[in-house]
Structure 1
Amino acid sequence: MINFSIGFIGGGRAVRIILGGFKRGGKLPRRIIVSDINIEGLKTLRNEFPEIIIAEKDNGKAASQDIIFIALHPLVIGDALGEVKAYIKPSSIVISLAPKITISTMSEVLDGHHKIVRMIPNAPSIINEGYNPVAFSPSLTEMERSSLIDIFNILGDTIQIPEEKLEAYAILFAMGPTYLWFQLDTLHEVGRSFGLSEQELNDGLKKMTTGTVNTMYNSGMSPQDVMDLVAVKPLKEYEEEIKNMYRKSLDAMYKKLKDKV
């Protein structure tokens, strides 16, 4: 069990991922409060995690805990922090899960509160296999950092990085699963139409995906040599189009995240 009380301001996908990872890892905090304006969303979350306390339209209750996760869209974080700053204890640690809004900006809104962390969780954290970058305010002590890393490590791997790299990590590693999931699901669908069983598809696609990644990064071969291992490439005529889609969409997203609010 995590021996801190934790508040979540916002009750969306990121909160479900984090709570799911804590629960699967057998390390739910002793007290969890989740606030949101969407009561139906809160009820759905509580159905999945009966251990939580929900607070409809009462961010102050979540903000009065030892650790406060800000799970909101970047555009509304400033207003939300301004509304709850009176509830945040000097010893409390504020953890933003959003790109774009910097530690210094949040500290300014919170009238100089310096115990601030930014983390970009990725979806595999829900099964304790996350790859989660974190940037700490210099004001946090080594003991505080160590305690937080112990908590974050429940979700998977925690990587300390310079704050200015968080947006790049968000696009490649937090959003990254979305670039692959629909393709895996489509392969599953196609395989089913070929007469393969669910077990065959589950086993085969998992092994193929793991082996593909390991070959690319652990074989010692160049990317070009790896991609040349298989002679027949059914999607060859679409490769340039797909690569250009990646470049165009991800570059635009990066610029958007790096623009100031």
Structure 2
Amino acid sequence: MAAVAAAKPTSRRVGFVGAGRMAEAIAQGLIRAGKVEAQHVLASAPTDRNLCHFRALGCQTTHSNQEVLQSCSLVFFATKPHVLPAVLAEVAPVVTAEHVLVSVAAGVPLSSLEELLPPHTRVLRVSPNLPCVVQEGAMVLARGRHAGSSEVELLRTLLEACGQCEEVPEAQVDVHTGLSGSGVAFVCVFSEALAEGAIKMGMPSGLAHRIAAQTLLGTAKMLLQQGQHPAQLRTDVCTPGGTTIHGLHALEQGGLRAATMSAVEAATCRAKELSR
């Protein structure tokens, strides 16, 4: 669980260009953690389809991307990657030296962002994942050429309201997409399979899915809070001739480890393809 102390909301205005699920997750995390007041969040999108979710949070909305830049100095760009270049070209005339611009779009490198914006614009990339909505996200950020330590610290302080946030070299952002962005779906598949195994053996469906999810949550907390390598915790659970080692043998026969590694590799390679 993210250990973020409740803080008095600042008067800082935070903008979102693009109002999809990830933008909503970040905004909701910031608001829930008290980092930003809802009325100080301004989101833009072409239609009301997603903006209604921001309004439900108490945020301001608009159909003008330029209005977001004119009202907010810190702006998250959470559009689809193929749409982002046109959006940046649209807002470039109103970008000033006061702005800190953060791209959440997968696969769009910092160099491309900087080319589309005025010289010396402070740009950063963030790779979040969906659990930001419950303040348990896993995020990495990378800074552009003109973003300094103060911009990194500002962004990290805000995003820690949504979970764990670490700075990495940009080359590792695509790996994070494969590991944690796509990894949410991989973990859901495993949780579903874990529960279905119990259902097969006679446990009611609702109970099986709740216990499977809690097992994942508890295991993750132990790994994070105790700083153990997963192999150590796995060894602690195994006893000679016991239930766990028999189950692990079945997983190895099914190729779980190799399939999971291949899934992260495939998702990472796709993220790299998008960046080209």
Report the TM-score range of the alignment, normalised by the length of the smaller protein: 0.7 to 0.9
- Out of 228, 232, 252, the residue aligned to residue 218 of structure 1 is 228
TM-score (norm 1): 0.83
Q: Does 1:22 align with 2:30?
A: yes
Residue of structure 2 in register with 1:63 after alignment: 69
Q: Does 1:181 align with 2:196?
A: no
- Cα pair 1:192 1:198 within 8 Å, conserved: no
TM-score (norm 2): 0.79
Distance, in Å, in 1 between the alignment partners of 2:198 and 2:139 is: 32
- Out of 41, 44, 58, the residue aligned to residue 35 of structure 1 is 44
Distance, in Å, in 1 between the alignment partners of 2:180 and 2:170 is: 15
Residue of structure 2 in register with 1:232 after alignment: 246
Aligned length: 257
Residue of structure 2 in register with 1:255 after alignment: 269
- 1:118 partner amino acid: R
Query: Which stretches in structure 1 are left out of the alignment for 5+ residues?
Result: none
- Cα pair 2:191 2:212 within 8 Å, conserved: no
How far 1:168 sits from its partner (Å)? 0.3
Distance, in Å, in 2 between the alignment partners of 1:94 and 1:28 is: 17
CA deviation profile, 1:144-187 (whole Å, cap 9, x unmatched):
33222211111122101111110001110122111011332454
> Where do residues 78-97 of structure 1 align in structure 2 (5 Å cutoff)?
78-97=85-104
CA deviation profile, 1:104-148 (whole Å, cap 9, x unmatched):
211111132430011111222222222210112242343333222
Residue of structure 1 in register with 2:157 after alignment: 150
Q: Secondary structure at the match of 1:73?
A: coil
Q: Does 1:2 align with 2:16?
A: no
- Cα pair 2:45 2:51 within 8 Å, conserved: yes
Distance, in Å, in 1 between the alignment partners of 2:148 and 2:220 is: 41
> Structure 1 residues 221 and 164 mapped into 2: Cα distance closer, same or farther (>3 Å)?
closer
Which sits farther off after the overlay, 62-71 or 220-229?
A: 220-229
Residue of structure 2 in register with 1:137 after alignment: 144
Distance, in Å, in 2 between the alignment partners of 1:67 and 1:212 is: 32
How far 1:82 sits from its partner (Å)? 0.5
How far 1:215 sits from its partner (Å)? 7.0
- 2:168 partner amino acid: I
- Out of 158, 168, 172, the residue aligned to residue 175 of structure 2 is 168
Residue of structure 1 in register with 2:5 after alignment: none
Distance, in Å, in 1 between the alignment partners of 2:178 and 2:115 is: 26
Of all paired residues, the percent bearing the same amino acid is 18
Residue of structure 2 in register with 1:46 after alignment: 55
Distance, in Å, in 2 between the alignment partners of 1:149 and 1:212 is: 22
